[in-house]
Amino acid sequence: MPARRGDESHADPRTDPILTVTDTVRFVTFGCKANQYDTQVLREALLRRGWRESAAGDASDLVVVNTCTVTAEAGRKARQLARRLARENPRVRIAMTGCLAESEADVLRTLPNVEWVLGNGDAKLPVHFLRQLGHELDPEELGIPSGITAFQGHRRAFLKIQDGCDMACAFCIIPSVRGKSRSRPIGELEAEVGRLLQSGHREIVLCGIHIGHFGRDRGVDLGDLLRALASVEARDDTGVPIDWRLRLGSIEATEVDASVLDAMAAHPRRIAPHLHMPMQAGDDRLLARMNRWYTAETYLAACDRIRSVLDRPAFTADILVGFPGEDDAAFENTLEAARLAGFSRIHVFPFSPRPGTAAAEPAAIGPPVDPRLARERRARLSELAHELTADFRRSLDGATDTLALEGTAGLSGRYQRVEVPLEALPARLPAHGALLDVRLRAVETDPGEVALEGLPLADPVPAP
């Protein structure tokens, strides 16, 4: 077992105990779905070796912090957490992993009680970590992980299908800390879906860093993966076929190609009709400054193409406000593009320069935006987003959808919260997370406010 960082001869077993597999571990995750998946991989690797996960609020012998570096604020929070953990428990040992461990490894090593700094690496990260903890591994164990068996603490399971990104957006540091795009084998992912279904998950979200590039390094594409996964069948402990669905994570609009759309159209119930497609801006000059590879026109054309194939799909998006060079005309173009896209939800992010990116020095990109003006634009865009959500819900009146139930409400395939009236629920309430086919009804609750109700269908939509 390793002693503290530095000369092992300085270790004192009375004050500096060796970690053993009877010790406790806690996991803290910052950032995206891919990070949450990576944490679950590490969790399973340690728990398989006999570690015990500590309950929330309890002291732990080891804390694994999976970090994010998308924004400077995310990095600050991770460093702040490490310092707080050391203050609260001077004997704790901390392992820092994730994207910040790639971009600021030297800084993290100076933090109190940080024993291990492990970058994103590759699929063998758990092996490297277990070895650093002092575990002897048998040759057959060196292949871990080939995925996960469950997604602890979540009804929905995230499934990372690829890692890395080959693009170079001016505001984004991720390609430099995640590397080139790398896809997982389809067969491995099919097996993992089967395990997740057996563990009780009924919605599986495909995630990664740039999932639209899935398979380019393997001679397949994302549509091939969707068709393969949509065909996975499993049975519960009583032998009853499991009803479940897939949802795509964030994907670029220009990468929702014919292969992806064909798969979604062929499995309208198994694959949720919801696409999160980052727009970032709706002004061509601003998109060029961001080093995005499309125009507002091509983005909107993709939305139209998708709508021509799928029944009332939900589009959600990320939009940046305050990017250097965003003048009044550019912002108005973004508002208009958002209206035309008809988003069901918009995640509005204020621009903040990130060291290590092309936009780290905003003046090199374009004239900076006054922070007060950026806040005003954020408020205007958020107001528009609220209106668009209400419009989208109105458009769903009479549509059929499938809910993943949580009591008397559920998350629809179109990523909307839907209430099921008590009097309309089946006599035997379906299990938490079970899928229920409903017909939607849009209800005006207050001026400008629209809620959705779901009335269970007498004849459920056949499973694919």
**Token representation of residue 431:** 């299990």
Is residue 15 very low, low, confident or very high in pLDDT (cuts 50, 70, 90)? very low
Return the amino acid letter for 408: T
- 340 backbone φψ class: left, alpha, beta (φ>0; ψ -120 to 50): alpha
Tokens 């107001």 sit at which residue?
383
Give the Cα separation of 151 and 153 in Å (integer). Answer: 6
Q: Say if residue 19's pLDDT is above 80.
A: no
β 24-29/62-67 pair status: parallel
Hey, where are the domains in the chain?
19-143, 156-387, 400-456
Q: Say if residue 354's pLDDT is above 90.
A: no
Q: Within its chain, how far is the Cα of 7 from the centroid?
A: 40
Domain at 400-456, CATH class: mainly beta
Give the Cα separation of 402 and 273 in Å (integer). Answer: 10
User: Which residue has better confidence, 334 or 142?
Assistant: 334
Contact 131, 110 (CB under 8 A): no
Return the amino acid letter for 104: E
Give the Cα separation of 440 and 312 in Å (integer). Answer: 12
Q: What is the mean pLDDT of residues 32-51?
A: 90
Return the amino acid letter for 63: V
pLDDT of residue 140: 53
**Structure confidence by residue, pLDDT tens digits, 394-411:** 999 999 999 999 888 999
Q: Say if residue 26's pLDDT is above 60.
A: yes
Question: Residue 439 forms beta bridges with which residues?
Answer: 400, 455
Q: What is the CATH number of domain 156-387?
A: 3.80.30.20
Contact 398, 440 (CB under 8 A): yes
Q: What is the pTM of this model?
A: 0.90
Share of the chain above pLDDT 90, in %: 75
Q: How far is CA 286 from CA 59, 280, 300, 348, 350, in A?
A: 48, 9, 16, 16, 15
Q: Say if residue 78's pLDDT is above 50.
A: yes
**Token representation of residue 162:** 């690829």
Give the Cα separation of 456 and 260 in Å (integer). Answer: 29
Give the Cα separation of 438 and 19 in Å (integer). Answer: 52
Are the folds of 19-143 and 156-387 the same?
Answer: no
Return the amino acid letter for 283: D
Rg over CA atoms, the chain: 24
**Token representation of residue 346:** 């918009």
Number of Cβ within a 10 Å radius of residue 127: 19
Find the largest Cα–Cα distance for the chain.
73
Return the amino acid letter for 291: N
Q: What is the mean pLDDT of residues 37-44?
A: 91
In the chain, count H helices and then E strands.
13, 18
Sequence-distant (≥ 6) Cβ neighbours of residue 296 within 8 angstroms: 281, 282, 283, 284, 287, 333, 337
Give the Cα separation of 352 and 328 in Å (integer). Answer: 19
Lowest pLDDT segment from 122-126, 278-282, 368-372:
122-126
Helix, strand or coil, per DSSP, at residue 329 = helix
CATH fourth-level superfamily of 19-143: Response regulator (3.40.50.2300)
Contact 108, 100 (CB under 8 A): yes
**Structure confidence by residue, pLDDT tens digits, 195-208:** 999 999 999 999 99
Tokens 């629920």 sit at which residue?
425
**Token representation of residue 102:** 């790639």
Share of the chain above pLDDT 70, in %: 89
User: Which residue has better confidence, 147 or 348?
Assistant: 348
β 435-446/449-456 pair status: antiparallel
